Amino acid sequence: MPPNLRECSSLPSFFKSINRMRIVEIVTAQKENPTVKTFTFMDKICGQANPGQFVMVWIPGVDEIPMSLSAINPKGLSSITVNGVGEASRALIKKVKGDQIGIRGPFGNGFVPTGGNIMVVGGGTGLAPLMPLTEKLVKIADKITLMSGVKCRENLVFLDRIAKILSEINSETVFTTEDGSYGIECLVVDQVEQKLRKENFDMIYTCGPEQMMYNMFLIAEQHNLPLQASLERIMRCAIGLCGSCQIGKLRVCKDGPVLNSEQLRSVKEEFGSFQLDFTGKKIKL
């Protein structure tokens, strides 16, 4: 990825095609729960993405926002999973089959799949980028423990998909809800701590609310385990130029969105505490 505008003028043609806006048609719009929908579209470039990479999604007449890919197919059928929480995402979630959106990307660095005994931890719709990762992990891991934490039963996503993916491997699933309406009544990080006291793992992958991921990072550090976390920040350019996604000396769009333990240590003062708003001002998370 280019660090400055001057280098942008000499970008290779393959990058220019990635950064060019492509208009795609929504093939399916599947409701995951009352506030979340998964949109599937055909785009050959996205079909070559790595799990954890993101795309910039343009909602005509509204805005352009970053979204992780929740499904990746080499034949080009890809998906994004949207939680209607902001103006742009609420406009996007109203889209239906046959509507059009704009796509740039995929951008950034995704997860690095590894073998052994693996833990995958998602908070809410943070499970989205972890789904294509898990599909890759089942081919190389010895065992996968997948944990999902939400506030209540109606916030759960991908239950059938998780069961189907993990049917191919030695696996364990743990679901937690804060109100006890499904699975275990607790925060998912509490179950992670208990699990790590009993079992050794080779890698932890996580995505979700940043405070949850920060706690995951601290737990992984205590147990001397490597961790990869997918961060979310305001992103405008998606190629490391505007600085809106900066955390410490890193730019989430270019150095991430997936950061490893070493990178997270370098931004520990801001990780889980601050991010930049649309004006560039630091705000508490």
**pLDDT one-digit tens code per residue, 23-43:** 999 999 999 999 999 999 999
Q: Are residues 198 and 216 in the same domain?
A: yes
User: What CATH number is associated with residue 53?
Assistant: 2.40.30.10
Domain CATH number, residue 188: 3.40.50.80
Residue 138 to residue 279: CA distance in whole angstroms: 42
The whole-angstrom distance between residue 25's C-alpha and the CA centroid of its chain comes to 22
130 within a domain of the structure (yes/no): yes
Place of tokens 């790590």: 196
- Band (pLDDT 50/70/90 cuts) for residue 15 is low
> Would you say residue 3 lies in a domain?
no
Of residues 277 and 7, which shows the higher confidence score? 277
For position 13, what pLDDT does the model report?
58
C-alpha closest to that of 115 among 101, 90, 136, 93: 136
CA–CA gap between residue 17 and residue 197 (Å, rounded): 47
Binned at pLDDT 50, 70 and 90, residue 2 comes out as: very low
The pTM for the full model equals 0.92
How many distinct structural domains can be found in the chain? 2
> Which pLDDT band, with edges at 50, 70 and 90, does 1 fall under?
very low
Is there a single domain that holds both residue 155 and residue 219? Answer: yes
- Domain match, 93 and 151 both: no
Domain that holds residue 16: 11-107
Check whether residue 143 and residue 264 sit in a common domain: yes
Choice between 76 and 264, residue whose per-residue pLDDT is larger: 264
| Residue 35 Cα distances to 98, 127, 157, 162, angstroms | 20, 15, 11, 19
- Return the pLDDT at 275: 82
Q: Which two tokens stand for residue 237?
A: 């350019």
| Alpha-carbon span 68 to 232, nearest angstrom | 9
pLDDT at 180: 95
Same domain, 270 and 131: yes
pLDDT tens sequence across 63-89: 999 999 999 999 889 999 999 888 999
Both 199 and 244 in one domain: the answer is: yes
Measured distance CA(26)–CA(57) in Å, rounded? 12
Predicted local distance difference test score (pLDDT) of residue 90: 94
